[in-house]
Amino acid sequence: MKVLYVASEALPFAASGGLADVAGSLPQALKRRKVDCRVVMPLYTNKIRDEMRAKMKFITSIMVPVSWRRQYCGIFEAKAGGVTYYLLDNEYYFKRDALYGHYDDGERFAFFSRAVLEILPHIDFKPDIINCNDWQSALVPVYYSTLYGSKEGYTGIKTVFTIHNIQYQGKYGNEILGDLFGLGEECASLLQFGDCLNLMKGGIECANKVTTVSNTYAGEILDPWFSHGLDPILKERSYKLSGILNGIDTKNYDPEKDADIFYNYSAKEPADKAKNKAALQELFGLPVNADTPVMGIVTRLVAHKGLDLIKRVMWEILSSTDMQLVVLGSGDWEYEAFFKELAAAFPEKVGLRIGFIPDMARKIYAGSDLFLMPSKSEPCGLSQMVALRYGSIPIVRETGGLKDTITDSGDGKGNGFTFKSYDAYDMLDAIRRALAAYADKEYWNKLVVRALKCDNSWGKSAKEYIKLYEELV
């Protein structure tokens, strides 16, 4: 089976969020199971390190239609983890400081989506399945079903559209349907939703299957509370919707081998986790104390991560409890300001770094006892799985992938602490239960070992993707 995995970001080349982790590891897991999976993504000239650039092989260049325009597209090939990546070059579109957030994102990703189909005859790879991800490649199934499906060399391909976060839909004015997307009025109904064009809606309408990144989220997005408006469309199309939980790259995230943490350890020999904790406390200028629980937060500082709950009660917790908080993240000004104030008010208890610093994130996973992730919505969430892998016990809200990966340890079997409603005092209750459990050393050590033993590798999920692909071909 041949699969072309289309992503607007993928590790190790360029990343801004969880999609890059998935596009950097699921293809390898598919490959291990004999699927010829290759990835195609934009070549972000400013983001890709020189030594990686040097290893890329130029295949050819073509001209890609963007409506009536013809735009240059260089096709480069690179290998990572045994997987072939095609990187599509056009500096006008992709030589930018940020991956997204530009005034012409609609045009940039229309170009990319069109290019994905245009390159097929030039890379000598005819996929059975094209798996697209999020709004940036949602036009691929639209173009396939309207312009390419019956063309010579293109027949018989099936498309899958995966939603990583329904909040970001790619909405643009109706007036660019013809002039930029190159589609006639007869296609308008595929993309139109509300008073604009909605790329995610188009992907849902045209793909043969729609997946999302956890089972619980697949159910949640049928509900207006989660769907950001798309629930009527998803309900109509629910026959082709399913959830497949993400995994994590357990080779990359491995406390036994990780070179970015202070001391290596494992489920068999967990003792050195304590040394990581002391080193973390020191790194953040906090009193080094083995008995004080350290809670980690590593996140984009945006509302859906549940930061309003933290804002509501963290002051209270820190004033009344012997604990330390280590925070790494960047994002909305409101939350950055909140954490800065908190760190200033509790210099002995709060360590803060504003930024997206992967090696520091790992030090926090390894050095913390608890990991707080109270998301309002969380399609899958990778951090809670990484936290488990490093034996930091997650405290999460029961939503999306958090619900599917973390179970409350109240019964002596689970791997974390959970709460249901989006309510600061329910979160507080879960935190208090976690802190009480922490005080019971015997109980806690067993819990940490259970966490370290959790298997969230890609194996099971890759099998589910293969099953879905097989159903289609």
Give me the residues that bind ligand GLC (CB under 6 A), please: 17-19, 22, 164-165, 213, 246, 378-382, 401
Residue 211's DSSP bridge partners are 162, 242
Considering the complex, what minimum distance in angstroms separates the CB of residue 64 from ligand GLC? 27
CB of 212 to ligand GLC, least distance (A): 8
Residue 378 CB, nearest approach to ligand GLC (Å): 5
In one letter, which amino acid is 147?
L
Measured from the CB of residue 18, what is the shortest distance to ligand GLC in angstroms?
Answer: 3
Residue number, 382 or 448, with CB nearest to ligand GLC:
382
CB nearer to ligand GLC: give 74 or 219.
219
- Would you say 47 and 96 are in contact if contact means Cβ atoms under 8 Å apart? no
Determine the Cα–Cα distance for residues 61 and 65; give it in Å rounded to an integer.
13
3-state secondary structure of 158: strand
- 3-state secondary structure at position 456: coil
Q: Which is nearer to ligand GLC, 296 or 381 (CB)?
A: 381
* Residue sitting closest to ligand GLC (CB): 18
Instruction: Tell me whether residue 17 or residue 65 sits nearer to ligand GLC (CB atom).
Output: 17
Buried b (16+ CB within 10 A) or exposed e, 122-157: ebeeebbbbbbbbbbbbbbbbbbbbbbbeeeeeeeb
Cα–Cα distance, 204 to 307 (Å, whole number)? 30
Nearer to ligand GLC, 138 or 280 (CB): 138
Q: How many helices (H) and strands (E) does the chain have?
A: 21, 18
CB of 255 to ligand GLC, least distance (A): 21
Total Cβ atoms within 10 A of residue 377:
24
What is the enclosing helix (H) or strand (E) of 344? Answer: helix 333-345
Question: To the nearest whole angstrom, how small is the minimum distance from the Cβ of residue 91 to ligand GLC?
Answer: 27
Of the two residues 165 and 368, which places its CB atom closer to ligand GLC in the complex?
Answer: 165
